[in-house]
Structure 1
Amino acid sequence: MENAPQSEPPSVSALEHAALAAWPAERVSELDGWRLRYMREVTRRANSVWPLSTTPRATEELERQVAEAEAFYEKLGASQVLFQMTPLADPGLEAVLEARGYRLDAPVSIQIAPLSKLIQLTPRGNACVELT
């Protein structure tokens, strides 16, 4: 098998946007660049704040946004508020959340690899596909 030309890996932003689209919520509200995602009877990703930040904000502004996000979920009857922390979040947000009693709960590691390399490393089995 010939090696395909190597391309640049996707950016963190591209991966986060793909993950966001892969598990849609039934309700999404925008809050100054953040996405407040809500879905009944679903936990985690589809029921969390995705705090995208393009520029750092003052602590007071972050506190206001967190309070508004909490009010959004409280109004919907959610039992908790989850923030999906990524490298795209405001650098000061983690400290604001810690001061409000939030804690790290479910760390995630997104890993990528070229499919051609995975195929080369995967042992071949005796599986076959039969079309009927």
Structure 2
Amino acid sequence: MSDHVTGGLEGLLVAVVIGVALRSYFAKPKLPHGVRFPPGPTSLPILGNALAVDVNAPWVTYKTWGSQYGNVVYTRLFGQDNIVINSEEIARDLLENRSQNYSDRPEIATNELFGVDYTTAFHAIQ
């Protein structure tokens, strides 16, 4: 390849990396007005809290954060929002007792036509 083409590809790569970095830095989660995430550690741009988590025993980090921030902790890892629940009581309440609020499946109109309207994978909780 010529130096001109190689330089153009490097410039394009740099522009894409900078674009992705800026997009993830300025991308804010869309929450309804007045709703806030639970408390949690301050995160870095792009990486979030990834450097603070022990990859061999992440539960130790989450337990430490639970002691520091409370039983429900918000963390961001590589641009993905995560909620860590450090209490069995809260986990049962949210994930079992209120599961209808959080676990909805989309209804697919053609499933009934093909006779697969009552399958576990496509079952919508009413």
Q: What TM-score, normalized to structure 1?
A: 0.29
Structure with the greater alpha carbon radius of gyration: 2
Q: What TM-score, normalized to structure 2?
A: 0.30
Query: More relative contact order in 1 or in 2 (CA 8 Å, sep 6+)?
Result: 1
